[in-house]
Structure 1
Amino acid sequence: MKRILVIGGSRYFGKTLVSRAREAGDEVTVLNRGSGAPSPGVGRLVADRDDEEALRGALGARDFDVVVDQVCYTPLQAAVARRVFAGRTGRYVMTSTMEVYDPATLPAGPLAPDTAPGTTPAPGSVPVPVPVTEASLDPARLPLAGAAGRAPGPWPAYVYAEGKRQAEAVFLRDPAFPYVSVRAAHVLGGGPAEFTGRLAHYVDRIGAGTPVDVHEAPYATSFIHHHEMAEFLHWTAEQTFTGAVNAASHGASDVIALGEAVAAQVGRRPRYRVVGAGADASPFSFDRAYAMDNGRASALGFGFGHVADWLPGAIAETARADG
């Protein structure tokens, strides 16, 4: 049994993580701003994580075996957590994202010793896409955005991917505790619980016969089911490894394959509209490669499922929710 603190944990796979840990016999506490009461048997702390004094006050003298941070989006939040939880936890797991690898959001300059995410050199030809490994990005080599760990300029203009990269960088600088960043693939499933609406975008448009915007040659991307994501986070909390780890089901898929899977569930052929180079398209159409390699997690002992096994059910669940 472990004493686990989940920061966030009030919705989607964070909520499922809390239930899984409780069912496994762990002593679970949730910390959030009061957005939702946890289930019976789960402790609750209320504080704004950005307010260091309030966070310390809510924690009191408590310490934990593991902290799972579901809602760390900025280097400022990471800096506060690093100070507050130093000496209070034996392990810190931050839920990060595959978007940290996105070439479209990476700052200029070398970030890793080898090639850019998503490519590998082929003699006599242009680079070809390959699944990115954790070594494709080393946040410790990123320049931190200010002494306080916050980006210059207004925060709303600071992109999600760079916020996550910078948060990882803060935790990696002079580590205060054993640290893991779980770089999650696109999480699907759960019907209305999947609050981003990305899968519903395809279900709604294909079901209505509305064209789906795609790139001329879209790249594959990585997915993971929300139950599998919760299971992976709980498994990671129980392990001892550190560093970045990719979390993705086997079988990267591009937007055309996704469209075909949706069509099979809604009974209507998809229509596509090709967008120009550099233009925005539908949520899972990408003109760049950064699908993830899950080999590290697999080698450490986690058994991922296959996208093809759970995607039809996730689509059907979304279609039912849409009515």
Structure 2
Amino acid sequence: MRSGEGVVREICVIGGNRYFGKRLIARLMAAGDRVTVINRGSSAPPAGAIHLVADRNDENSLEKALGSRTFDVVIDQVCYTPRQAEIARRVFAGRARRYVMTSTVEVYEYEDSAALVREDAVDPRTVAVDLELPWDDPEFLDAHYGEGKRQAEAVFARTRPAEPAFPYVAVRVAHVLGGDDDFTGRLDHYTDRIRTGEPIAVPAVNHPATYIHVEEIADFLAWAAGADFTGPVNAASHGALTTEELCEAVAAHVPEGGTVFRSVEVGEVSPFSFARSYGMDNSRGTRLGFTFGESSEWLPRAVAETLGKDN
């Protein structure tokens, strides 16, 4: 039941105490939902939220913290591996009417298409799951981020005769920009190089990509929590952006600098530069009722926010 119809929804958020996660929690609470936040205790949730301390990688810890609680919706902000998904599916089966997993555009890392990529390009029902891979090794996980998310989706999508269906949504999030709390440092990379004139390394053929503003993805996740669709859905603003467009927006705040690109055939390139084309098609989310913004319209604001400038 949606809040605002006389019934308060019980919503559990796993992780999500920074960046767009904290914005999501604020939106849910403002809508009148009762929000329970689960994390390992490293940071407290906003005032008014229920705080449960548990290690989501430890099934017993999670079960003990939850007790007999049940939820209308669980929003999992920190599911990176199929092992984590297996634990979550076992623990929340029967506890949650709906499970929303924050996934990523990187599930399409093997795609290379001139056309925007639709959800059916990666069907989680056909993705093989290997629980024996070293998912607990941070270096392995970092190098296999997209694969971890693909296999986590596959666990939630799985159907077996003796296993009840799991009502899940996998929100495949585009590259996120904006906010004064962007902890990634990716725009700082461009700022530093434009300010000093140091070359910006890009692939020989550099493709545009799809993005979403930090406030927009918080809106999308809050909207998805209250909807009734299931399965994968792409979350990206309209309009792909090129590295050149990003640099133009940054350069507007660094008038003393200069933008120099260096094309590389092999080796490390700058963030937000891509040797393949895998921008996301957002038509499913649009058909379901979400109104996406235009990336070219919010880009100047996003850059100004992150660089701490007045826009």
User: TM above 0.5, one fold?
Assistant: yes
Q: 2:252 aligns with which of 255, 258, 264?
A: 264
Contact 1:30 1:44 in 2 (8 A): yes
Structure-2 residue corresponding to 1:137? 122
Letter in 2 for 1:260: E
Q: Shift of the alpha carbon at 1:310?
A: 1.4
Q: Shift of the alpha carbon at 1:153?
A: 7.7
The alignment partner of 1:11 has SS state of coil
Q: Shift of the alpha carbon at 1:177?
A: 2.5
Structure-2 residue corresponding to 1:296? 284
Contact 1:10 1:35 in 2 (8 A): no
Q: Shift of the alpha carbon at 1:209?
A: 1.9
Contact 1:87 1:177 in 2 (8 A): no
Q: Shift of the alpha carbon at 1:317?
A: 2.1
Contact 1:82 1:176 in 2 (8 A): no
Cα separation, 2, equivalents of 1:242 and 1:181: 8
1:95-244 maps to which residues of 2 (within 5 A)? Answer: 95-103=102-110, 117-119=111-113, 129-145=114-130, 149-151=131-133, 155=137, 156-158=139-141, 159-174=144-159, 176-191=165-180, 193-244=181-232
The alignment partner of 2:269 has SS state of coil
Q: 1:281 aligns with which of 269, 278, 282?
A: 269
The alignment partner of 2:147 has SS state of helix
Cα separation, 2, equivalents of 1:5 and 1:236: 14
Cα–Cα, structure 1 residues 250 and 62, in superposed 2: closer, same or farther, change >3 Å?
Answer: same
- Greater mean deviation of Cα atoms: 73-82 or 154-163: 154-163
Cα–Cα, structure 1 residues 152 and 33, in superposed 2: closer, same or farther, change >3 Å?
Answer: closer
Letter in 2 for 1:58: A
Structure-2 residue corresponding to 1:58? 65
Structure-2 residue corresponding to 1:15? 22
- Greater mean deviation of Cα atoms: 2-11 or 84-93: 2-11
Structure-1 residue corresponding to 2:6? none
Letter in 2 for 1:141: T
Q: Is 1:32 aligned to 2:39, yes or no?
A: yes
1:175-199 CA-to-partner distances (Å, cap 9, x unmatched) read 64211000000011112x2111112
Contact 1:75 1:150 in 2 (8 A): no
Q: 2:96 aligns with which of 82, 89, 95?
A: 89
The alignment partner of 1:95 has SS state of strand
Q: Is 1:313 aligned to 2:298, yes or no?
A: no
The alignment partner of 1:284 has SS state of coil
1:239-269 CA-to-partner distances (Å, cap 9, x unmatched) read 0000000000111111122112222232233
Matched residues, number: 294
The alignment partner of 2:225 has SS state of helix
Q: TM-score, normalised by structure 2?
A: 0.91
Q: Shift of the alpha carbon at 1:207?
A: 2.4
1:76-115 CA-to-partner distances (Å, cap 9, x unmatched) read 0000000000000000000000000012xxxxxxxxxxxx
Contact 1:3 1:64 in 2 (8 A): yes
Q: TM-score, normalised by structure 1?
A: 0.88
Q: Is 1:248 aligned to 2:236, yes or no?
A: yes
The alignment partner of 2:208 has SS state of coil
Cα separation, 2, equivalents of 1:38 and 1:154: 26
Contact 2:81 2:135 in 1 (8 A): no
**Structure 1 unaligned runs (5+)?**
104-116, 120-128
Q: Shift of the alpha carbon at 1:202?
A: 1.3
Cα separation, 2, equivalents of 1:19 and 1:76: 29
Cα separation, 2, equivalents of 1:9 and 1:292: 23
Contact 2:134 2:140 in 1 (8 A): no
Cα–Cα, structure 1 residues 153 and 294, in superposed 2: closer, same or farther, change >3 Å?
Answer: closer
Letter in 2 for 1:69: D
Q: Shift of the alpha carbon at 1:12?
A: 0.7
The alignment partner of 2:272 has SS state of coil
**Structure 2 unaligned runs (5+)?**
4-8
Cα separation, 2, equivalents of 1:28 and 1:311: 31
Letter in 2 for 1:207: R
Give RMSD over aligned pairs: 1.5
Q: 1:76 aligns with which of 71, 79, 83?
A: 83
